[in-house]
Structure formats: C-alpha cells, structure tokens
Amino acid sequence: MNINTIKSTYGYLGFTPFALFSITPWITGGYIGETAIIFQIAYGAIILTFLGGISWGWRDDQPEQKKNLSIGILYSLIACLMLILIYLNMILFALLISVISFQSFYYFEKSTYDFKHKHEDYQKFRRMLSLLVAISFLISTAYWINPYSNPLN
C-alpha cells in the first residue's frame, strides 16, 4: 500500500465523526441532536488545530514559509474561537466559522509550494475531504436554523 493510499484511508476515517455528528441531529433530534452538533464543532476545532500545526512541517526553504507559519497559527486560534463560541452558546456562528475555516484552509494549503509538488492523488484527496467536511457543517447548520428542529425554540 503506497503512502497516498494510507493518507486517504486515514483521512476518510477521520471524516467519519463529521458525517455521524452531522446526520445524528436529523435522526434523533432534541438534546442528542444538539449535543452531536456541539461535538462536531469541538472535533472540528481539534482537526483545524492539527491542520494549522502541519504548516510547521512544511519545508522551511519554500517561498513565504514565514507567512505560512503565521497563517497556520491563525487557524489554530480560529479553532480556539470555535470552542469559545460553543461555551457562549453561539452555535450558529461556530458552525459558519467552521465551514469557512475548513474551506479556506484548503485554499491556503493549495497555494503553497509544497502542495503544488504533492502527488496528484493527494491533491484530489485534500480537495474532496475539505469539501466533505464543509458539507457536513452545512448539514448541521441547516438543522440548526430549520424552524422545525431549531434547538433554540
């Protein structure tokens, strides 16, 4: 098994909680649904922190690596903001920030020198995984703002 296949396998396994947490509210509703969304945001914050940290592992001699490190730290701080928003019960804002953060991190990573020299399979995998995660947050956002399921009612 080559390294790109292993990365894809682990990546999709890591996506599984996003998928489960986004469909659980639609199946169970109520308190369990609300808790699943909170867990999804928290899990997303953990993953976003990890993604922000991978910029430390990119080649130091690539163009704009100093800027890349700073942007990576910014994404880790955004993940902390997501957790604070959960604490403040601002779930909708946390969901929207999650969608934007995961998609924008992909575009940030895609702009780097290292990414452009990665295997084509890895590039396709990262695009698909970022899109799936963003969709999972959009599904949860739809549940949260749906007047028939909104936990705030």
* pLDDT tens sequence across 65-122: 888 888 999 999 999 999 999 999 999 999 999 999 999 999 998 988 888 888 888 8
- Position 152 in a domain: no
DSSP letter assigned to residue 112: S
In a domain, 100, yes or no: yes
pTM above 0.85, yes or no: yes
Instruction: Specify if 151 maps to a domain.
Output: no
Angle subtended at Cα 103 by Cα 115 and Cα 76, rounded to the nearest 5 degrees: 80
Does residue 82 contact residue 44 with C-beta atoms inside 8 Å? yes
Q: How confident is the model at residue 9 (pLDDT cuts 50, 70, 90)?
A: confident
Q: What is the residue range of 14's domain?
A: 3-145
In a domain, 54, yes or no: yes
d(CA 75, CA 103): 12
Quote the number of domains for the chain. Answer: 1
pLDDT attached to residue 91: 95
Helix (H, G, I), strand (E, B) or coil at 150: coil
R_g of the chain, CA atoms, integer Å: 16
Kindly state whether residue 126 falls inside one of the protein's structural domains: yes
Q: Are 101 and 74 in contact (CB under 8 A)?
A: no
How far, in Å, CA of 28 to CA of 30, rounded? 7
Instruction: Please tell me the distance from the alpha carbon of residue 10 to that of residue 36, in angstroms, as a whole number.
Output: 22
- The C-alpha angle 3, 127, 71, rounded to 5 degrees, equals 95
pLDDT of residue 67: 87
